[in-house]
Amino acid sequence: MPTNITALLEPASVAVIGASADPRKIGGRPIDYLRRFGFPGRIIGVNPARREVQGTACVPDIAEAGAIDLAILATPLEGAEPAVLACLKAGVKGLILFTAGYAEVGEDGKKAQQRLADAAREAGAAMLGPNCLGTLNVHARLPATFATTLEGLDPRPGWFSYVGQSGALGAYWLEMAHNAGLGIAKWITVGNEAQVTGADAIAYLADDAQTRIIATYIEDIKAPDEFAAAAHEAKQAGKTIIAIKSGRSPAGSRAAAAHTASQAGEAGWYNDFLNECGVLQVSSITEMIDTARLAGAGERQFGAARIGMVTVSGGAGVLVCDTAADHGLAMAELTQSDRDALREFLPFYAAAANPVDVTGAVVSDRGLLPRAVEILGRTAGCDVILLFFGGMASIAGDLVAAARGATAYGKPVVVVWMAGPDAALAEITAAGIPVFTDIPPAVAAIARLRISSPSGVSS
């Protein structure tokens, strides 16, 4: 059975152990963030020297805090163990331990974190970390973290969630996903996984109503059976898991051991295991986000992902064909009647074929683009509509309108706009249409989402 981590993400009351009056300190940031995000539950500080920090009441000891669902421990190493034990004794059900210096530094640390994990388990509590950055539940306005990225970021509520052993990469994920226009559901950094594992977090997200896509950064999987069960549950719920498995190389594996005491293990085994679990593998956070942008909340069906392309550049059409072939993707085949229909309105020097090259004539003939899109939208052999634009700031409005119009045919629409105006790209993103600034990442993301996709690492 996975450890129940509800208290780590849906607490009604939060205590910050080591609460600081300085909102830039580790013990001050969670209070600052909780207040700024408007966390609707009860917040209390634990600090023997203060009655109040940042306008939040403090008690000297967790035992005096009343009923607490979640304790955030911003405690130096020497004070961490007593603080954890005090929280457990006080009946706290969720603990987040930021403190580093455990399994990642050697045997003593490993034993110390094991003692804490055992104590939490015995108490029926869930302890996240140590050596983690905490959690974030955007819908519930709960930032249980000291991640500095939240200083300047106010994530939108959405359906994209993160689970990972690296808190720092999680922070970059958060900011990059937000900047890509995605909304966030839950964010769970598991650190050393002394008790709560990535599998526990995925099991929780499989059942979470807000989460549609789960991104996960994995150095090792400590409980493969639980991971497989959680992945299965997520899949049954129609959710996609996108994973970076790091430590695939000997050098990477050594670095992972130094980082979170992970045993990255045999790359081949992991690859097969993740494939069997139906997990999409990528090699970077950018690819994670690209894939999520395309997948959307799960409503987009890519089928065999045969690409129908309308392009303002013949050269770009050639490059898309090549890149698609590199990924084993087919271009959509047009019917004779599609070709006849194209012939009616394309410039005489443009081929009536897929890719449909509307050429630079698109600047003077505003009807070209929507008419070409309509043919791809209606023909049965096309699964995905890819629109290629380049530059053309002077008709950016028409191009944005064509991208919006392309969504009317019930097929996924992907835009590649090289050297495009920032404002137009932002408009397309705001319309929920994934837009890329060059061809390879767009085609790679399409390839990951095709139904028959072999789900090995693709990049």
- Helix, strand and coil in the chain, % to nearest 5: 40, 20, 40
Cβ proximity to a second copy, 58 vs 416, nearer residue: 416
Q: And the tokens for 306?
A: 């045969």
Which strands, in side-by-side order, build the sheet including 157-164? 142-145, 134-137, 184-189, 157-164, 213-218, 240-245, 280-282
Other C-beta atoms closer than 10 Å to the C-beta of 286 total 16
**Are residues 33 and 225 in contact, defined by beta-carbon separation less than 8 angstroms?**
no
Among positions 308-367, residues that touch a second copy (CB under 8 A) are 312-319, 321-326, 330-331, 348-351, 353, 355, 357, 359-360, 363
Residues numbered 85 to 114 that lie near a second copy (CB under 8 A) are 100-101, 104-105
Token pair of 195 as six digits: 């008790």
Residues touching a second copy: how many (CB under 8 A)?
78
- Three-class DSSP category at 322: helix
Least distance to a second copy, CB of residue 25, Å: 10
Helix axes 314-326, 439-449, angle to 10 degrees: 40
**Structure-block tokens of residue 79:** 């004070």
Q: Report d(CA 22, CA 153) in Å as an integer.
A: 19
Query: Is 248 or 448 the residue whose CB approaches a second copy more closely?
Result: 248
DSSP one-letter code for 207: T
Q: Are the beta carbons of 342 and 370 closer than 8 angstroms?
A: no
What is the layout of strands, in order, in the sheet containing 413-418?
Answer: 356-357, 307-311, 384-390, 413-418, 435-436
Contact segment (CB under 8 A) with a second copy among 48-56, 155-163, 253-261, 406-414 equals 253-261
Q: Closest distance between a second copy and the C-beta of residue 75, in Å?
A: 15
Of 249, 263, 301, 335, the one binding a second copy by CB under 8 A: 249
> Minimum CB separation from a second copy for residue 27, in Å?
14
Least distance from a second copy to the Cβ atom of residue 423, Å: 13
* Minimum CB distance to a second copy, residue 12 (Å): 30
Tell me 92's DSSP state: -
Least gap, CB of 71 to a second copy (angstroms): 22
Residues 130-149 that bind a second copy (CB under 8 A): 148-149
Query: Which is closer to a second copy, CB of 101 or CB of 405?
Result: 101
User: Does 258 participate in binding a second copy (rule CB under 8 A)?
Assistant: yes
Nearer to a second copy, 12 or 419 (CB): 419
Residue window 171-210: x/- pattern of binding to a second copy, with contact defined by CB under 8 A: xx--xx--x-------------------------------
Binding mask 4-43 for a second copy (x = CB under 8 A): ----------------------------------------
Output 39 or 436, the one with its CB closest to a second copy: 436
What spatial distance separates the first Cα and last Cα of the chain, rounded to whole Å? 35
User: What is the distance between the alpha carbons of residues 383 and 347, in angstroms, rounded to a whole number?
Assistant: 26
d(CA 48, CA 21): 13
User: Of 6 and 286, which has the nearer Cβ to a second copy?
Assistant: 286
Q: For residues 402 and 400, what is the distance between their CA atoms, to the nearest angstrom?
A: 5
**Please, what is the minimum distance in Å from the beta carbon of residue 70 to a second copy?**
22
**Near a second copy in 260-289, by CB under 8 A:** 260, 264, 283-287
Contacts 24+ apart (CB under 8 A), 361-369: 362/312, 362/392, 362/395, 362/398, 363/392, 363/394, 363/395, 366/395, 366/398, 369/310, 369/398, 369/399, 369/402
Q: Looking at 115-123, 161-169, 202-210, 397-405, which segment touches a second copy (CB under 8 A)? A: 161-169
> Is 418 one of the binding residues for a second copy (CB under 8 A)?
yes
Instruction: Rule CB under 8 A: say whether 391 interacts with a second copy.
Output: yes
- Part in contact with a second copy (CB under 8 A); list of ranges 1-9, 43-51, 245-253, 295-303: 245-253
- Burial environment of residue 14 by CB neighbours within 10 A (0 to 12, 13 to 18, 19 or more): buried
Instruction: Give whichever of 288 and 403 is closer to a second copy, judged by the CB atom.
Output: 288
Q: How far is the CB of 247 from a second copy (least distance, A)?
A: 5
Q: Name the residue with tokens 């937000």.
A: 178
Rule CB under 8 A: which of 421-440 touch a second copy?
A: 437-440
Binding mask 288-307 for a second copy (x = CB under 8 A): --------------------
Nearer of residues 86 and 153 to a second copy, judged by Cβ: 153
